[in-house]
Amino acid sequence: MERSAAKARIEELVALLRENSRRYYVENAPTMSDYEFDTLMHELERLEAEWPEFKLADSPTQRVGSDLQKGFVQRPHRYPMLSLANTYSISEVEEFAARAEKTLEAGFSYCCELKFDGTAICLTYRDGKLYRALTRGDGVKGDDITENAKRISNIPHTLKGDFPADFEIRGEVLMPYSAFDALNAEREDAGEPPFANPRNAASGSLKLLDREEVARRGLICTLYHIPAQSGLEFQSHDEALSAAESWGLPVSHERRVVHSIGEIKEYIDHWDTQRKFLPFATDGIVIKINEMSFQRALGFTAKVPRWAVAYKFKAEQALTPILSIDYQVGRTGAVTPVANLQPVQLSGTVVKRATLVNADQMAALDIHEGDWVYVEKGGEIIPKITAVEPSKRRPGAVRPAFPAVCPDCGTPLVREEDEAKWFCPNSDGCPMQIKGELLHFTGRKAMNILAGEATVEQLYNLGLARTPADLYDLSLSQLLTLDGWKEKSARRFRASLEASLDVPFDRVLFALGIRFVGETTAREIAVHFGSIEAVAAAGREELLAVPDVGEVIADSILAWFADQRHTIEIERLRAHGLRFAMGEAQAAASDALAGKTIVVSGVFSVSRDAMKDLISKHGGKNSGSVSGKTSFLLAGENPGPEKLRKCEELGVPILSEEAFMALLPEDAAEAPEPRLFDDEPTLF
């Protein structure tokens, strides 16, 4: 490879790995399998070794992925919390064992354990009490999620037996398949996208600000490591875990102490089959040098311990026939082919459907009707079809014809240049797109209206709702015509509509469903322009000046506002009282906070958005940073240390939630709270 090509490829790999690391650790929405990610990481390692002058100090090969998140206090780890070296090759495990035998004295052993597919946690106990819980974070510091950890049923708050006065133990927080299936069923009923896999669900659940919701998610913890540097008098890793179990801590029971590469292979082969019957997700085997003294002697690289390696199972596959192919129309009009499969067990769940992605992918796979196909959940992600088994193809089988018209409304499909998908352009007349827009509008991250897929389906079929504004026109008598609805259900729905009038402008803008305008982009646009009128009047160059807005998004916004039907819809929604400007509110509840600029930080008894709305309703102004103009800092639990330092430096008062509420009229606590319906599944 030439020098310029190597530099370009290294830069490309760094960008790819950083982006997918962010999606994996922060957004809990990976876009590539573990195998694909690890393959790219190994390629980057090889190129950096060959071209060291292009190696960055903060390269993904030198740092663990970071799950640090706003809303939590970050605290330093006592010892670095690193990742493990990964391999998919038995030969590399053999090389690891050979290096150990060459480097270490005779008489050492290995401890083999399951590699749990969850999210890492570090627990500290002092005097037998749970003192602190941190996430992996960036390996040097982690998010303090102590209060959330206390809501996990099998993490003890108090230890028993002869435990050390002060120690830490590390492990994984998991979501069992049963809890995962129940959570996704709830999300689908509420019209929300399901989590891709139990690992993402566990990570997302552990970082919720609502502690009671954390308790409800059914998380469990398995602990597997007491750092050798901690100074505790254990001869081996296995002995340390046995002691931890005697103190009441949940440790891994499937571990085995072995003495040769042959025994390691036997353990790997056993669990490659038996893992399918476990109640939780695993994705490999961890092999550790068992003796603590040897762990200390081998030490660490910048990123991984030298005394351990993770062998990752290849993505589990299943062979099953395609029964039929559906063509689904999404909210944006994208048409996606989905194969209906003969049900098959795969990675702990029964798979009945798998995406075929788009017409190009169908052609690349050479899909024929009735084909037997290999289905894979690489890294436990959403099932996808990876190959066809031609030996099982029926004689005379034909290729399915991708539709030329929308399967829902019959409009001719279009395919824009550089687009892989076909689209239905009938955005305001296609039933599936209309129902998708209504579900998007009512979603929790948008208007948080109590309406799931079944409700939207009924409202559409009865002709009661075609646009979001129609929802606000519904009368009690109309709602009572819905199947299974009683007066209580109807009144709860209307109460959620009333509460939605307090949703801030950025979420209203997101709820409108402009193509490519996601939650973060909507917030950037709202802050930049301040009102819907300013957004509608903006030209292309003005839109491109907004962070996160590129040419595709700018053109989509221009096209959306150019449609007169959308202008009419905005006016109807405005008439119902929705907010279309930053800081715009309903009639002020009081002027108790008039003239005050308030910074909100920490975790409260209600959501942070609810506290900010309360400030606005009582005449105050929200600010994101502490300055000389700040009237006071409203501090919940775990407020940002930098904000506290700034308050002390500038002499800005700090008020607790209780002291803040005392400033408001007595009935302020009865104000609508945006999370009122978040934890309740749709009942109809």
Does the pLDDT at position 68 exceed 80? no
Does the pLDDT at position 19 exceed 60? yes
Does the pLDDT at position 669 exceed 70? no
Q: For 623-635, how does the pLDDT look when each residue is reduced to its tens digit (9 = 90+)?
A: 777 888 899 999 9
Give the position of tokens 């102590």.
146
- Say what angle helices 177-189 and 198-206 make with each other, to 10 degrees: 80
Dihedral (CA of 549, 552, 554, 559) sign: negative
pLDDT of residue 429: 92
Tokens representing 375 are: 């289905």
Does the pLDDT at position 28 exceed 60? no
Does the pLDDT at position 670 exceed 90? no
The mean pLDDT value of the chain amounts to 85
Q: For 539-562, how does the pLDDT look when each residue is reduced to its tens digit (9 = 90+)?
A: 999 999 987 788 889 999 999 999
Question: pLDDT-derived band of residue 318, with 50, 70 and 90 as boundaries?
Answer: confident
pLDDT of residue 684: 24
Tokens representing 430 are: 């296609």
Q: Which SS3 state, helix, strand or coil, does residue 354 take?
A: strand
Q: For 282-293, how does the pLDDT look when each residue is reduced to its tens digit (9 = 90+)?
A: 889 999 999 998
Q: Which SS3 state, helix, strand or coil, does residue 318 take?
A: strand
Q: For 414-473, how does the pLDDT look when each residue is reduced to its tens digit (9 = 90+)?
A: 998 767 889 999 988 999 999 999 999 999 889 999 898 899 999 999 999 999 999 999
Q: For 260-310, how does the pLDDT look when each residue is reduced to its tens digit (9 = 90+)?
A: 999 999 999 999 888 878 888 888 999 999 999 899 888 887 668 889 999
Domains of the chain with bracketed CATH:
3-54 (1.10.287.610), 74-312 (3.30.470.30), 317-392 (2.40.50.140), 431-575 (1.10.150.20), 597-664 (3.40.50.10190)
Question: pLDDT-derived band of residue 513, with 50, 70 and 90 as boundaries?
Answer: very high
Question: pLDDT-derived band of residue 42, with 50, 70 and 90 as boundaries?
Answer: confident
pTM: 0.52
pLDDT of residue 438: 96
Q: Is 49 exposed, middle or buried (0-12, 13-18, 19+ CB in 10 A)?
A: exposed
The alpha carbon of residue 52 and the mean position of all alpha carbons in its chain are separated, in whole angstroms, by 34
Position with higher pLDDT, 152 vs 185? 152
Does the pLDDT at position 47 exceed 90? no
Q: For 239-258, how does the pLDDT look when each residue is reduced to its tens digit (9 = 90+)?
A: 999 999 999 999 988 999 99
pLDDT of residue 124: 95
Percent of the chain past pLDDT 90, that is, above it, reads 48
Q: Which of 115, 207, 288, 617 is catalytic?
A: 115
Instruction: Work out the average pLDDT over 376-396.
Output: 81
Which CA distances in Å does 315 have to 333, 377, 551? 32, 6, 37
pLDDT of residue 190: 59
Position with higher pLDDT, 634 vs 184? 634
Count other C-beta atoms under 10 Å from residue 568's C-beta.
12
- Specify whether 314 is catalytic: no
pLDDT of residue 422: 94
pLDDT of residue 585: 47
Per DSSP, the chain holds a count of helices (H) and strands (E) of 25, 21
